[in-house]
Amino acid sequence: MAGEDILQMSQKELKRLHIIQKRIDGQIGQEEAARMLRMSVRHVRRMAKRVMLQGAARAISRRRGKVSNRAVSIEERQRVLGLYRQKYWDFGPTLAVEKLR
């Protein structure tokens, strides 16, 4: 066990790794793996290649721990919450969104 790393994986990532490993071992085809994982055949091929070359760690999402591309900046969020609390405190969420727009 010396030199081995411990990986934390979600259930989804474990399932993905299991299916990709079955694909690598030839137990299932690319199309079947793609259908099971709900992704394209091309993406299954890329993932299988990464897992074969770099190991199980490549089944983990590379976006983990990063901020979403669609995230609202902290300053913008604070500004909107301030307006909501100051002017629209008695509105429901839908009406408040309409007024803020």
Q: Which two tokens stand for residue 50?
A: 């990464």
Q: Are 8 and 15 in contact (CB under 8 A)?
A: no
**pLDDT tens-digit readout, 3-54:** 566 667 778 888 988 999 999 999 999 999 999 999 999 999 998 998 888 8
Length of the chain in residues, anyone? 101
**pLDDT tens-digit readout, 70-92:** 998 999 989 988 988 888 888 88
pTM of the model: 0.58
DSSP 101: -
Q: How many CB atoms lie within 10 A of CB 16?
A: 22
